[in-house]
Structure 1
Amino acid sequence: MESTEKISGFQLSLLVFSFIAPTLVLVVPSFMEAIAKQDAWMTIFPAFLIGCLHVWVMLTLAKRYPGLTIIQYSSQILGKFFGKIVGCYLLYYWINFDFIILNQHIQFINSVFLMRTPSVVVSLTLAVLCGIAVYMGIESIARCNEYLALLIFVLLIPLLLLMLAQSNPQLLRPVLSKGIVPVLQSSIFPIAYLGQFLILGWILPFLNQPKKAAIASFTSLSIISGLFCITVLPLIMIFGPLTRKLTFPILSVIQYIGIKGSFERLEAVAVAIWVMGCFIKVSLTFFMICLSLTHLFEVKNYRNFVVPVTIISVLGSIAVFNNYATDLSSYLKETYPSFAFATQFILPLSLLMIDTIKRHWRRSVP
């Protein structure tokens, strides 16, 4: 780890926002609507509570092991052997995550913007840019994201206003017609994405003022949850039951606004939001993979792994699925939520419980 690389609390908050919000807003609503129907917007409330607990777990672990990443303090909690196993599992998780995100990027760009462009070109162009960003360091990524996050906000707000103008509140009725159970069931999808606060286990050691970690993290969680709620609401009020049939529902509603309103080709705005969000998401994923490899193999500089990780990511993003659209949708809907919940929430919570038990046992031993 480079001790000279530091980010501020504000930069941390924006990094987490850009890492989670764009893909959460653009991809997840259709999965939720398929289960909770018109009550899908309510799923953010139980997800927010679980997200708060998850952030608290990550902050508590970071406070107990200041300056260390989750890969490092796993070995201190579980012992070197089991700590390495956990580290290898987390490395596998982020590599798999990296393949999926780049594959999503390929699908999005090919379906909206560059239909005939080969997948390898779409993946390679983004991966190379992300590799350069990672080589420059986490501080450079954070500074770049200050401008990109601002652009995402600037582009999203007018779109939300245009969506509200086309909304029909009657489509939100009846409220809780099938009870609270479908809402709780579909909340697994936003929980899986809010669980990506797991990245705090790699980023918090670079925070220049650790005391600001809690404020920055909970602020980011609140903004992401609020944005998600006010995005899903007009989406349901425009498309209603059709939402569940859309691969990228926000993109579809933007195209609908462009046809019905005074503006045309607004999907370019959705592409811009997606690309900026993916750039930060993939860059941070590359960074965590490189950092994990550095700590697992006790190498001094994580930059030694940037080029191999970039190459493997491009190849993996193309080969991860045989049928892009069908397999990816099935994975995100059926496999990823439980996989993410176990990795992003249960694993850190287990580490905290084991560490707490060990500390109490040590105190009780005379």
Structure 2
Amino acid sequence: MIRSPKPTKLQAIMTLMLTIGITNHVFIIPALLQIAKRDAWFSVLLAAIPFAIVVCLIGFASSRIGTEALPEWIRQRLGRFPALLFQCVMTVFFFATAWFSLFDTVMWMKVTFLPYTPVLATSLVLMLLCLGGALKGMKTIAITSGILLPLVVLLGFYVAIVNVEFKDYSLLFPLLEQGWDPVIRGVLYTCSGLFEYYFIFFLQPYLKAPLNKKQLFIFAFILFGLTLGPLTGAIAEFNPFEAAVQRYPAYEEWRIAGFGKYVSQTDFFSIYQWLSGSCIRISFALIVIADMWRVPAARWRPSLLITLAVILVPLSCYTFSDVTFQHLMIRYIFPIDAYFILGMTLILAAVSMFRPRKKGRST
């Protein structure tokens, strides 16, 4: 168990809502619309089946793991080498998660409201914010999430309500115009976001007690709604084909929302929403990486976090063009992410059946 000031369970759920919610609410939707068009929302409904299975597996494993750090828990059951291998794999995974989030956020700022600002400047400022949060630790991130999330949620309901007059939900039908293949592919992309529910394993070591079954299922239901809501809204507002060619449909929904008679655009609110999710997500990934490699030296953790930040900034600026990144995201990143998290969930559920190894005896 990690010995530090403990976030509450409510703060933990809020942290996960911002960390995972931005993937389901923003990142996944463009890919879903390009793959499945009008049937994208139907893919989300079908994804409820594999997602429910994964939630049950995570709930089962979580009850066995409790608030113990995963590397130590694995070491007690399988030995040092599997624990070391797990640490290496998850370090790469969370580093890729931080890079993906930083890159997509910087590109969004470049495309939407900072076209003449160098991407290096926006990447550096955003990375400094995330580094500051990571250096403070998970408790600070959890408290920050509790402050940021209520307004994020209120703004989400606001944009959904004020845009009702522009929505035509008959555009959600007819279904299966292109057959089942796009729908099944859409299920895979939906699962890529929903399966990040797996992040619960990496937050629970910071809590006094693990989330109970009721809290786990409530959070799963919220996560599912975070995908279905803006997706159906984008199709109903723009039609499935126009929404599919938009780079950021969730942002475009803000561009038609007004505030009374005298404010015609309120898209600046989306900046608050997006940056809240991105900052918490990147900080969360950095904290998990740093705390996974615990050593006695007190100076080691800040040095590691600063090194990761220094590497991430140029990677987010000069690796790919936005078009290339979008192709990689749809073709490789999301499918690999879904299969990887599913595989790790199955492994942890299987390992949870093992008893801890006793000294002097083999398992």
* Cα-to-partner distance string for 1:114-169 (whole Å, 9 max, x where unaligned): 11111121111111111111222211111111111101011111101122220122
Distance verdict in 2 for CA 1:201–1:21, change over 3 Å? same
* Correspondence list, 1:334-349, <5 A: 334-349=331-346
The residue number in structure 2 matching 1:118 is 118
- 8 Å CA contact 2:38–2:235 kept in 1: the answer is yes
Distance 1:72 1:318, change over 3 A: farther
Contact 1:9 1:207 in 2 (8 A): yes
The aligned residue for residue 195 of structure 2 is: 195
Q: Distance in 1 between matches of 2:66 and 2:249?
A: 41
The corresponding residue for 1:322 is 320
Distance 2:198 2:120 in 1: 29
Structure-2 separation of matches of 1:69 and 1:175: 45
Cα pair distance change 1:262/1:224, threshold 3 Å: farther
Q: Distance in 1 between matches of 2:292 and 2:35?
A: 37
User: Larger % of helix: which?
Assistant: 1
1:208 is paired with a residue of what secondary structure? coil
Contact 2:133 2:141 in 1 (8 A): yes
Q: 5+ unaligned residues in a row in structure 2: which ranges? A: none
1:28 partner SS: helix
User: Per-residue deviation at 1:350?
Assistant: 2.0
- Write the distance in 2 (CA, Å) between the matches of 1:16 and 1:213: 15
Give the aligned residue type for 1:33: L
Q: Taking structure 1 as reference, are residues 213 and 8 closer, same or farther at Cα in structure 2, changes over 3 Å only?
A: farther
Deviation of the 1:178 alpha carbon = 4.4
Report the Cα offset of residue 304 of structure 1. 4.8
Counterpart contact for 1:98–1:286, Cα < 8 Å: yes
Deviations 1:266-304 (A, max 9, x none): 22122221011111111111111111232xx67667445
Map Cα deviations across residues 303-351 of structure 1 (whole Å, 9 max, x no partner): 45322222222233224x232x112101211111222123212122123
State the Cα deviation string for residues 54-85 of structure 1 (Å, max 9, x = none): 33333433332333222332333432113212
What amino acid sits opposite 1:10 in the alignment? L
Aligned-residue identity in percent: 18
Distance in 2 separating the partners of 1:169 and 1:341: 29
**Code of the aligned partner of 1:334:** R
Asked whether the 8 Å contact 1:28–1:190 carries over to 2, the reply is yes
Q: Are 1:173 and 2:173 an aligned pair? A: yes
Q: Quick one: distance in 1 between partners of 2:66 and 2:225? A: 30
Alpha carbons of structure 1 residues 64 and 23: separation in structure 2 relative to 1, 3 Å: closer
TM-score normalised by length of structure 2:
0.89
CA contact (8 A) 2:257 2:267 kept: no
TM-score by length of 1: 0.88
Q: Aligned to 2:328, which of 331, 351, 356?
A: 331
1:58 aligned residue: 58
The reply to whether residue 232 of structure 1 matches residue 231 of structure 2 is yes
Q: Is the 8 A contact 1:9 1:213 kept in 2?
A: no
Deviates more, 1:56-65 or 1:159-168: 56-65
Q: How does 1:107-256 map to 2 (within 5 A)?
A: 107-210=107-210, 212-240=211-239, 241-256=241-256
Distance in 2 (CA, whole Å) between partners of 1:85 and 1:268 is 44
| Contact 1:109-1:115 at 8 Å conserved across structures | yes
Q: Where does structure 1 lack aligned partners over 5 or more consecutive residues?
A: none
Does 2:302 align with 1:310? no
Query: Contact conserved, 2:138 with 2:287, CA < 8 A, in 1?
Result: yes
Residue in 1 that maps onto 2:283: 283
Per-residue deviation, residues 157-203 of structure 1 (Å, max 9, x unmatched): 11011222201223122133445543232021221111212222211
Distance 2:114 2:246 in 1: 19
1:5–1:137 Cα contact (<8 Å) kept: no
